[in-house]
Amino acid sequence: MGIYINPGNAGFTEICGKNYVDKTGLIHLINQTIGQENKLTCISRPRRFGKSYAARMLTAYYDHSCDSHKLFDNRKIADAEDYKTHLNQYNVIYLDITGFISEARRKNESLRMVPDRIVDAIQADLLTVAPEAAADKALNDNLIRFAERPDGRKYVFIIDEWDAMIREAKDDEIAQRAYLNLLRGWFKNANFTPRAVAAAYMTGILPIKKDGSQSAISDFEEYSMIDPWEYGDYVGFTEAEVIKLCEAHGIDFAEVKRWYDGYRFPGTASVYNPNSVMKAVRRKRFDSYWTETSAAEGLLDYISKDYNGLPKTIAELIGGVEVKVNTSGFANDLTTFRGKDDVLTLMIHLGYLAYDSRQKNVRIPNEEIRQEFQRSIHEVKHEATLKRLEESEQLFADTIQMHEEAVAAQIEKVHTEETVALHYNKEDSLRSVIKLAYYSYRDHYLQFEELPAGEGYADIVYLPKADSDWPALVIELKWNKTAEGAIEQILKKKYPSVLENYGREVLLVGISYDKDAPAGEKKHCCRIQRAAL
């Protein structure tokens, strides 16, 4: 048993406590790739989404130097037909790239030395476990010798934080190239890869860096936050897993969902941030645990970049509006940005934004990340967004004080400013305008769209949080009709009845837009009245 070659199962044993969420189904997916054309797998996820846990699990399962039956016999993987076929049957090379970078930093070495340090470390390990290895032979030659001896076994490479070199040496192209060449020597080498590699599993934050328009290690199958395909259930915790945790620990599932849900992929209903869920479970408190990780460090830089349209887009996102994005041109690094879309794509990979692959939209996924955006726009003095925040807070004050003219004027102002982004004269744009105008609602309210109420569905309802003394707002929108007509519909359809036992004052807000209003006349009108419950 070595440090990097066949390190054993201690790492996985350590995390298999009573609160371990069984993610061993991932093993079956990797088993299906062993010895196949698609045997090279790269999975990217945000920080604190369980990447290292998965790497330790796979190491314990494949490493032939230990017996891991007790760790897996009662797990989901034990039901798979290929469970025993691959259990403890391979040489494993396990690398955590951040460890090599930290050691280089400690010694004040250039990161250009890291690839050589990785080679030296594996070579030294190999000399202790393989008598046939020779110090004067190249590493790959020694690895082939070890794999092809009579009792030899091919290697399963498991590389955790594979992209740490791309991130840490983001301004050093020579260091990056040397590192990518090391990976090419293992995974794109006709003399080595077929003879020595049974499978490879790399995990990190970023997809594989592109050389021009192509992946630098093109033989890898990639699964990212843009589209994880069949690995969607293993990005984070699924809803079923979170419900089970909440029941076991007496935690309010609805609050967990509001705080930490929000990532969705085809075939996977809901995915939660596992680190934050577990901290909420242990501490019995809902909060933004994102700030306790280095994941929050970059948001300040990204949202302050001076790209055309980015400030308005940040305001739209905070307002709950989903924004179109083109993810195809992203270079998969932290320095190459051609414009707003590349910044948004990076934020998808970092977990700040959730991506809908069908609609090609992004949005802020949950309360935890929204708080990070709110904190960041204040720290970087994001003037356009801060101005919108102040205007939104004033709009709530004007609405609660029933200042109809002020409310109509602010709605018209937002509608005019967002003409291009929201397609001014499209009927569905008015709802987007309302969400943008009231985008600071989360400090006091929960927002519901198309809320079943009375004899229909209320357009937008703001329900006060338990610690807020603000009134509930029922907002009805009318296109080319009157604000009075909106109020009449609220009353006729009995929308306020859904709030009869809510114990708060309820304000009915009718907002209308008349695109054919004569020049010089207001296109937006507002009527507000108290509900008689």
CB 157 within 8 A of CB 118: no
Q: Which residue has the higher pLDDT, 441 or 385?
A: 441
Residue 422 binned pLDDT confidence (cut-offs 50, 70, 90) = very low
Q: What is the 3-state secondary structure (H, E, C) of 104-161?
A: HHHCCCCHHHHHHHHHHHHHHHHHHHCCCCCCCCCHHHHHHHHHHCCCCCCEEEEEEC
pLDDT band at 426 (very low <50, low <70, confident <90, very high): low
Higher pLDDT, 307 or 262: 262
Sketch out the chain's domains with CATH numbers. 10-223 (3.40.50), 237-379 (no CATH), 383-530 (3.40.1350)
Predicted confidence at residue 484, as pLDDT, reads 92
The larger pLDDT score, comparing residue 9 to residue 480, is at 9
pLDDT confidence of residue 222: 94
Percentage of the chain beyond pLDDT 70 is 92
The confidence score (pLDDT) of residue 97 equals: 97
For the record, the structure tokens of 330 come out as 């992203």
Indicate the pTM of the whole model: 0.82
pLDDT tens-digit profile of 219-258? 899 999 999 999 999 999 999 999 999 999 999 999 999 9
Mean pLDDT of the chain: 88
Confidence band for 423, pLDDT divided at 50, 70 and 90: very low
**Could you report the per-residue pLDDT of 519-533, keeping only the tens digit for each?**
666 789 999 999 876
Write down the H helix ranges in 19-113.
25-31, 51-62, 69-72, 83-86, 97-106
- Give pLDDT tens digits for 345-366: 999 999 999 999 999 999 999 9
Question: How far is residue 45 from each of residues 74, 116, 167, measured CA to CA in Å?
Answer: 27, 27, 14
Average pLDDT over residues 445-455: 84
Is it the case that residue 446 has pLDDT exceeding 50?
yes
Cβ atoms of 59 and 94 within 8 Å: the answer is yes
| Residue 411 scores a pLDDT above 80 | yes
> CA triplet 103, 108, 112: central angle to 5 degrees?
75
Query: Across the strands, what pairs with 363?
Result: 354
Element at 488 (helix H, strand E): helix 483-492
Please enumerate, as own/partner, the contacts of 450-459 that have beta carbons within 8 Å and a separation of 24 or more.
Answer: 451/498, 452/498, 453/493, 453/494, 453/495, 453/496, 453/497, 453/498, 453/499, 454/493, 454/494, 454/495, 454/496, 454/497, 454/498, 455/492, 455/493, 455/494, 456/493, 456/495, 458/490, 458/495, 458/498, 459/431
CA–CA gap between residue 31 and residue 231 (Å, rounded): 13
Predicted local confidence at residue 263, as pLDDT: 93
- According to DSSP, the residues that pair with 155 across neighbouring strands are 91, 197
pLDDT of residue 459: 87
Count CB-CB contacts under 10 A for residue 31.
Answer: 19
307-312 mean pLDDT = 79
pLDDT for 421 equals: 43
pLDDT at position 431: 80
**How far is it, in rounded angstroms, from Cα 524 to Cα 107?**
65
CA 368 from chain centre, in angstroms, equals: 12
Mean pLDDT check: name the lowest of 169-173, 300-304, 449-453: 300-304
Reported as a pLDDT band with limits 50, 70 and 90, residue 296 is very low
Q: What is the pLDDT of residue 428?
A: 62
- 41 strand-pairing partners: 201, 221
Helix then strand count (H, E) for the chain reads 23, 18
Per-residue pLDDT, 133? 79
34-57 mean pLDDT: 94
**Residue bearing the bigger pLDDT, 419 or 4:** 4
Q: Of 61-65, 171-175, 435-439, 463-467, which one has max mean pLDDT?
A: 61-65
Residue 40 has pLDDT above 80, yes or no: yes
| % residues pLDDT > 90 (the chain) | 57
Task: State in Å, rounded, how far the first CA of the chain is from the last one.
Answer: 73
Give the mean model confidence (pLDDT) for residues 2-7: 92
pLDDT band at 425 (very low <50, low <70, confident <90, very high): very low
Q: Give the pLDDT score at 216.
A: 65
Is the pLDDT at 380 greater than 70? The verdict is no
**Is 232 in contact with 270 (CB distance < 8 Å)?**
no
Q: What contacts 108, CB < 8 A, 6 or more positions away?
A: none
Q: Give the mean pLDDT of 61-67.
A: 97
